[in-house]
């Protein structure tokens, strides 16, 4: 006997619930008999047609006819039935789709749960997973080279205090890098003592101090992260960019260790034929300090590409990749009590700009492309 809408004799919760259950069961049973598009259509029409569909009949004969006091509860039940019927129609639809598409295999089993309005046997919607951003990819590659040498990864906050960003790194109080020209300060900090004032870190070097506060020597860490400087935007500058810092502290670490480590890392990154070259430089937190150049991996160091000048190395045959040096004893003084007595330990540090290396590596000529989020550009790296 096909289901017909029962007349409600009364509106007690028991009567109502029984009527609802009968109806819901009938609907599920009929849904199981849907095997073709034609079945689906008549199933849907029978239950959901505006004119005289079962839901409409229920609405008229149960809800509209009910006494005022019973309306809220009858309304609730009727709404539940409506959702149930809609879900059954959806399941019927999915069942048909499933019959047509090859069944997904789950470890040799086909999981079928046709009673549930959510059909877990349907193939899922695969969202495209996207691609690693070229800057992240470059950063991971560099970090990977150092991880193979036994370095671990450390991180620190982007919003930093003056103490970590400058003071503990031996920047004298009036050093130009503290100037508002370069540093983006957080507003409203004037009432605090200088060392507690917040700013956007201008380099990843503050994490050297944070790590030495947290860990006793020996340490070998790399620190990838975002940094900010108040630079106007152009093809090679962005107020936000990325660095990777490195720090190794132990007894008897020498400049030779620094040179050997970085030479190895550059060959791992740019190919075993690149040469490295150190030029004296100055950083407040390293002494002596150097800038590291690698022979141009675009032109092979000749400064020329065929008859044309090589632009990435500005025809010099050398590309500057990072700043480095031996940790200044004054820096160790700030963490002396954690085991960093400058008489006993020594170390080296380096810091490189990831975005610049990514530009060179991928032959991109405008750093802004990295941060505009244009999916057409990012897809090139997929």
Interface with ligand PHE (CB under 6 A):
203, 205, 245, 283, 286, 289, 323-325, 349-351
Question: Does residue 197 contact residue 185 with C-beta atoms inside 8 Å?
Answer: yes
Measured CA to CA, the distance from residue 160 to residue 274 in angstroms comes to 36
Residue closer to ligand PHE by CB (options 259, 304) is 259
Nearer to ligand PHE, 248 or 310 (CB): 248
Please answer whether residues 31 and 91 qualify as being in contact, where contact means their C-beta atoms are separated by less than 8 angstroms: yes
What whole-number distance in Å separates Cα of residue 260 and Cα of residue 293?
14
Using DSSP bridges, classify how beta strands 308-309 and 276-283 pair: parallel, antiparallel or unpaired. unpaired
Cα–Cα dist 107/94, whole Å: 22
Least Å distance, CB 195 to ligand PHE, is 19
| Residues ≥6 apart with Cβ < 8 Å to 155 | 207, 223, 224, 225
Least Cβ distance, residue 328 to ligand PHE (angstroms): 10
Q: How far is the CB of 285 from ligand PHE (least distance, A)?
A: 6
| Residue whose CB is nearest to ligand PHE in the complex, by number | 351
Minimal distance, residue 350 CB to ligand PHE, in Å: 5
Question: Closest separation between CB of residue 142 and ligand PHE, Å?
Answer: 14
CB of 296 to ligand PHE, least distance (A): 21
Q: Smaller CB distance to ligand PHE: residue 77 or 356?
A: 356
- For ligand PHE, give the closer residue by CB, 59 or 276: 276
Alpha helices in 32-148 (DSSP H): 37-48, 54-58, 71-100, 134-148
Nearer to ligand PHE, 88 or 204 (CB): 204
Q: b/e per residue, 321-342, with b = 16+ CB within 10 A?
A: bbbbbbbbbebbebbeeebbeb
Q: Tokens in use for 376?
A: 């057409």
How far apart are alpha carbons 75 and 63 in whole angstroms? Answer: 6
d(CA 156, CA 227): 11
Which residue, 301 or 347, is less far from ligand PHE as judged by CB? Answer: 347
Q: How far is the CB of 327 from ligand PHE (least distance, A)?
A: 8
Can you point out the beta strands (E) in the chain?
A: 152-153, 159-161, 198-200, 219-228, 240-250, 276-283, 286-295, 304-305, 308-309, 318-327, 346-353
Closer by beta carbon to ligand PHE, 205 or else 211: 205
Q: Any idea what DSSP says for residue 208?
A: H
For residues 34 and 331, which CB has a smaller minimum distance to ligand PHE in the complex? 331
Cα 9 from Cα 295, distance rounded (Å): 93
For residue 157, the minimal CB distance to ligand PHE (Å) is 16
């Amino acid at each position: 006997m096909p289901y017909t809408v029962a007349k409600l004799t009364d509106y007690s919760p028991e009567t109502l619930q029984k009527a609802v259950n009968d109806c819901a069961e009938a609907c599920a049973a009929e849904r199981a008999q849907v095997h073709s598009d034609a079945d689906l259509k008549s199933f849907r029409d029978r239950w959901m047609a505006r004119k005289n569909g079962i839901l409409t009949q229920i609405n008229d004969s149960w809800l509209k006819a009910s006494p005022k006091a019973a309306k809220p509860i009858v309304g609730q039940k009727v709404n539940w039935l409506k959702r149930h019927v809609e879900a059954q129609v959806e399941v019927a639809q999915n069942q048909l789709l499933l019959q047509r598409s090859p069944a997904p295999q789950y470890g040799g089993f086909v999981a079928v749960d046709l009673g549930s309005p959510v059909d877990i046997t349907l193939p899922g919607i695969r969202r495209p997973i996207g691609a690693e951003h070229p800057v992240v990819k470059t950063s991971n590659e560099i970090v990977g080279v150092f991880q193979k040498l036994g370095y671990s990864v450390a991180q620190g906050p982007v919003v930093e205090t003056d103490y970590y960003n400058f003071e503990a790194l031996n920047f004298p109080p009036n050093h130009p890098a503290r100037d508002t020209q370069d540093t983006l300060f957080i507003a409203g900090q004037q009432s605090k003592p200088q060392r507690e004032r917040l700013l956007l870190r201008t380099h990843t070097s503050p994490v050297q101090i944070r790590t030495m506060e947290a860990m006793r020597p020996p340490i070998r860490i790399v620190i990838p992260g975002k940094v900010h400087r108040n630079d106007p935007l152009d093809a090679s500058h962005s107020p936000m960019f990325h660095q990777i810092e490195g720090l190794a502290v132990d007894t008897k670490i020498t400049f030779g260790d620094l040179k050997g480590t970085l030479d190895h890392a550059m060959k791992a990154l740019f190919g075993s034929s690149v040469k490295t070259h150190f030029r004296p430089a100055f950083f407040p937190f390293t002494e002596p300090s150097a800038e590291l150049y690698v022979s141009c991996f675009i032109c092979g160091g000749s400064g020329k590409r065929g008859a044309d000048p090589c632009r990435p190395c500005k025809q010099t045959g050398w590309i500057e990749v990072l700043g480095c040096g031996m940790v200044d004893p004054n820096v160790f003084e700030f963490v002396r009590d954690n085991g960093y007595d400058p008489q006993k330990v020594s170390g080296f540090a380096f810091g490189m700009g990831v975005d610049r290396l990514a530009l060179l590596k991928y032959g991109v000529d405008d750093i802004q492309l990295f941060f505009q989020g244009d999916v057409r550009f990012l897809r090139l790296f997929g």
